[in-house]
Structure 1
């Protein structure tokens, strides 16, 4: 079964012809923190040749720590980040795992963390009073 997903407004859809990601990781790099607006980005790495993206996307390219470009693909309608595509590893692309379809993303099992040099110190703690939903 392929990995499928979409952006928030559903204008962009994608399908990766793989049974599961090659790697599922918490990406703590500063760029992913800024793009996601969060403390890390959950990524699902797939072979670029196996991915088809449909719909209106834009790409913003910046320089990664390798010195090579990292191309960040997002929906041109709602702005949802879809993937980042590093020139330093041209055979792969990292899907933003939060955009995967629910039945797929709920079964993901992150196996590693990357760019932990940028991991925020409070991400290491288990908070005492979690809320299933926002408190009312």
Structure 2
């Protein structure tokens, strides 16, 4: 069954033609903290070429630690963050896992933490595979 999701107002919808994310990660980078308004962003990493996204998406582009742009996609109607798309890793896109359909979200098992160098001190949970920054290819 493909992955599927939508923004808060359902104007932006997507499907990903895979059964499960390549990785499900707590992303502690400062940009994800700011975009989510929380201590981290739970992301579902998927192959970009398997993503079918439709609806009124806006993009804000910032610079990642790699020096390459990171495109942050969000709904232009309700403002829900949908994904971040790092040019340093052109084959993947990181969907904001909270936008996945509820039944899919309930089956996620986060297996990775990234950007633990930016992890806030009161976040004590640690997973099996922490990375201080974004892991390499």
- TM-score, normalised with respect to structure 2: 0.90
Deviation readout 1:62-94 (Å, 9 max, x if unpaired): 000010000000000000000000000000000
Residue 108 in 1 paired to residue 108 in 2? yes
Shift in Å at residue 56 of structure 1?
Answer: 0.3
Name the counterpart of 1:64.
64
Residue 30 in 1 paired to residue 54 in 2? no
Shift in Å at residue 4 of structure 1?
Answer: 0.2
Deviation readout 1:15-66 (Å, 9 max, x if unpaired): 0000000000000000000000000000000000000111000000000001
Shift in Å at residue 122 of structure 1?
Answer: 0.3
Instruction: Give the 3-state SS of the residue equivalent to 2:123 in structure 1.
Output: helix
5+ long unaligned stretches in structure 2: 126-137
- TM-score, normalised with respect to structure 1: 0.91
Residue 41 in 1 paired to residue 61 in 2? no
In the alignment, the residues of structure 1 paired with residue 87 and residue 33 of structure 2 have an alpha-carbon distance, to the nearest angstrom, of: 20
RMSD of aligned C-alpha atoms?
0.6
In the alignment, the residues of structure 2 paired with residue 15 and residue 6 of structure 1 have an alpha-carbon distance, to the nearest angstrom, of: 9
Residue 85 in 1 paired to residue 85 in 2? yes
Residue 76 in 1 paired to residue 98 in 2? no
Name the counterpart of 2:130.
none
Instruction: Give the 3-state SS of the residue equivalent to 1:104 in structure 2.
Output: helix
In the alignment, the residues of structure 2 paired with residue 109 and residue 8 of structure 1 have an alpha-carbon distance, to the nearest angstrom, of: 22
**Number of residue equivalences:** 125
